């Protein structure tokens, strides 16, 4: 009988996928198909949760089949992240428009990413204090205990390293190893390696224009190839979101979410506040924030469901370059840098909230010196945070270790981590896009006609 239920559950998913295929053949817009997939996934997940319960074997076996679509799609995105980061950075250098303002552009993007992370820390601190969050109120069960032990083990790998040693970790001693993602800082290692090749290209272009033209042609061809792969993968987005959302809702522990409701609410108040700050930055750049929202909705929605900033990178770059009018060079830089530097949600709000929750339980007053130190530590520690699920944990370890606070207490939030991580990831991606738009606007490399052009007239649909 259980096998029959599993077959029925899978058949329902297949039928919904068929509906999305039908919508595509009827030329329904990509955005509408994505939002339809989100809604269908939520409804399917709720129905499965109500019928079977989050811990049933039937649901677990059904989800295993759902993961072929959901997790498989995320893996396809992760497959193209490193090649895309590499060719995006290198390709940015081959564009003459970027080369003349390279230092200014990189400086602006990094300043906005790190500056907004510091602001995010302030927002996180304010939310934690405002909701009077206290780590001593958290309940510790078997799952929480296991999570705490895992965090302590991970922290042992980080503790004892000075800030200079951590900075040295960014440098790619073997770039080909970093292409495999073997290190926590592999992505930033690939960025650095690609940047060195880019600077080498600029040198060649001044001294040997003929060979520089050959290099540029090869880079452009490789860029076109990688972007074509990106397009093929992005076409699967509605199906991936459907399966991911159904799995997430069906397996959520609503009881634990209720028990930790105050922390969840405080987290989303902070995330929402920071999102509004991003829109204020867009407005101060002289751009319509409503137009901005419409054009980044697909990228933010996928970030929310997948919980992977790295997996969302193709959508991040696509939204900037093909919808918002950001030059390709700036879009590539801001998207790639935003994967590992200045993640407002994972590296800004989350560790700041944890520190404020934990400090009073250790007898540490939340005075001005503590808060200022925390903000500085969060900003500095935001370098090198991995843009995949778990990046927030790494950021928390760095910050709590630097503030001499017990790391194990962060494990008590394991039951609501997925729910909060969805919002954090969407904020991370929005921070990258905001940095790109603001930088393009400041440097005069933003096509306002494209920015203001209605979505229906743009050909950026996948």
pLDDT score, position 122: 95
Is the CB of residue 409 less than 8 Å from the CB of residue 388? no
User: Which position has the higher pLDDT, 313 or 461?
Assistant: 313
Would you say residue 62 lies in a domain? yes
DSSP code at position 408:
G
Most confident of 149-153, 247-251, 398-402: 247-251
Q: What is the pLDDT of residues 123-134, one digit of tens each?
A: 999 999 998 887
- Say which range, 138-142, 162-166, 277-281, 284-288, has the weakest mean pLDDT: 138-142
Q: What is the pLDDT of residues 321-371, one digit of tens each?
A: 899 999 888 888 898 888 878 789 888 998 899 899 888 877 888 888 999
Would you say residue 366 lies in a domain? yes
Share of the chain above pLDDT 70, in %: 85
pLDDT score, position 366: 84
Mean pLDDT calculated for residue range 83-88? 86
Residue from 426, 440, 198 nearest 304 by CA: 426
pLDDT at 19 over 90: yes
Segments forming the whole domain that contains residue 147: 2-457
pLDDT score, position 168: 78
Rounded CA gap, 1 and 281, in Å?
A: 56
pLDDT at 83 over 80: yes
Q: What CATH number does residue 230 fall under?
A: 1.10.3860.10
pLDDT at 33 over 70: yes
Bridge partners for 341 per DSSP: 383
pLDDT score, position 111: 93
Burial bucket for residue 125 (CB in 10 Å: 0-12, 13-18, 19+): buried
pLDDT at 3 over 80: yes
Phi-psi region of 61 (alpha: psi -120 to 50; beta: other; left: phi over 0): alpha
Would you say residue 348 lies in a domain? yes
User: Which position has the higher pLDDT, 142 or 259?
Assistant: 259
Would you say residue 183 lies in a domain? yes
- Say which range, 40-54, 95-109, 171-185, 340-354, has the weakest mean pLDDT: 95-109
Structural domains in the chain (count): 1
Rounded CA gap, 185 and 85, in Å?
A: 13
pLDDT at 460 over 50: no
Mean pLDDT calculated for residue range 4-14? 92
pLDDT score, position 141: 47
Cα–Cα separations (whole angstroms), residue 251 to 51, 256, 416: 12, 12, 12
Phi-psi region of 454 (alpha: psi -120 to 50; beta: other; left: phi over 0): beta
pLDDT score, position 47: 93
Would you say residue 388 lies in a domain? yes
Mean pLDDT calculated for residue range 54-60? 86
pLDDT at 385 over 70: no
- Say which range, 78-87, 145-154, 287-296, 448-457, has the weakest mean pLDDT: 145-154
Is the CB of residue 204 less than 8 Å from the CB of residue 211? yes
Would you say residue 462 lies in a domain? no
DSSP code at position 53:
-
User: Which position has the higher pLDDT, 411 or 110?
Assistant: 110
Average model confidence (pLDDT) for the chain? 83
pLDDT score, position 154: 53
Q: What is the pLDDT of residues 194-238, one digit of tens each?
A: 889 988 998 898 888 889 899 999 998 998 898 888 888 888 889
Is the CB of residue 446 less than 8 Å from the CB of residue 319? no
pLDDT score, position 214: 93
pLDDT score, position 96: 55
Rounded CA gap, 33 and 177, in Å?
A: 38
User: Which position has the higher pLDDT, 227 or 259?
Assistant: 227
DSSP state string for 349-415: IHHHHHHHHHHHHTT----HHHHHHHHHHHHHHTBT--SSTTHHHHHHHHHHHHTT--SGGGGGGGG
Burial bucket for residue 443 (CB in 10 Å: 0-12, 13-18, 19+): middle
pLDDT at 388 over 50: no
Is the CB of residue 350 less than 8 Å from the CB of residue 319? no
């Amino acid at each position: 009988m259980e096998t029959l239920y599993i077959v029925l559950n899978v058949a329902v998913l297949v039928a919904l996928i068929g509906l999305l295929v039908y919508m595509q053949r009827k030329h329904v817009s990509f955005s509408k198909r994505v939002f339809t997939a989100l809604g269908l996934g939520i409804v399917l997940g709720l129905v499965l949760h109500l019928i079977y319960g989050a811990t049933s074997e039937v649901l677990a076996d059904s989800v295993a089949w759902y993961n072929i679509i959901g997790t498989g799609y995320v893996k396809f995105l992760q497959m193209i992240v490193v090649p895309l980061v590499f060719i995006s950075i290198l390709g940015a250098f081959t564009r003459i428009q970027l080369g003349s303002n390279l230092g200014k552009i990189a400086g602006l993007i990094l300043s906005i990413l790190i500056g907004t992370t510091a602001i995010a820390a302030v927002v996180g601190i304010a939310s934690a204090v405002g909701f009077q969050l206290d780590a001593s109120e958290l309940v510790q069960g078997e799952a929480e205990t296991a999570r705490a032990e895992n965090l302590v083990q991970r922290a042992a790998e980080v503790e004892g390293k000075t800030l200079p040693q951590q900075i040295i970790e960014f440098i790619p001693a073997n770039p080909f190893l970093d292409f495999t993602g073997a290190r926590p800082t592999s992505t930033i290692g690939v960025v650095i390696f690609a940047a060195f090749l880019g600077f080498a290209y600029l040198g060649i272009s001044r001294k040997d224009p003929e060979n520089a033209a050959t290099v540029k042609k090869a880079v452009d061809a490789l860029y076109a190839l990688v972007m074509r792969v990106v397009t093929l993968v992005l076409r699967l987005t509605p199906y991936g979101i459907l399966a991911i959302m159904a799995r997430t809702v069906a397996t959520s522990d609503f009881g634990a979410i209720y028990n930790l409701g105050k922390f969840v609410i405080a987290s989303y108040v902070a995330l929402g506040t920071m999102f509004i700050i991003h829109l204020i930055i867009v407005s101060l750049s002289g751009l319509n924030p409503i137009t901005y929202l419409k054009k980044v909705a697909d990228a933010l929605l996928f970030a929310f469901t997948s919980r992977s900033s790295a997996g969302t990178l193709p959508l991040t770059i696509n939204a900037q370059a093909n919808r918002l009018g950001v030059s390709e060079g700036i879009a590539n830089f801001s998207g790639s840098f935003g994967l590992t530097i200045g993640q407002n949600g994972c590296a800004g709000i989350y560790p700041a909230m944890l520190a404020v929750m934990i400090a009073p339980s250790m007898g540490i007053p939340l005075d001005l010196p503590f808060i200022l130190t925390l903000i500085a530590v969060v900003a500095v520690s935001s370098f090198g945070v991995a843009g995949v699920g778990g990046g927030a944990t790494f950021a928390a370890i760095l910050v709590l270790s630097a503030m001499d606070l017990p790391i194990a207490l962060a494990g008590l939030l394991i039951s609501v981590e997925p729910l909060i991580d969805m919002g954090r990831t969407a904020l991370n991606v929005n921070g990258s896009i905001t940095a790109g738009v603001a930088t393009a606007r400041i440097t005069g490399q933003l096509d306002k006609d494209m920015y203001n052009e209605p979505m229906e007239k743009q050909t950026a649909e996948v």
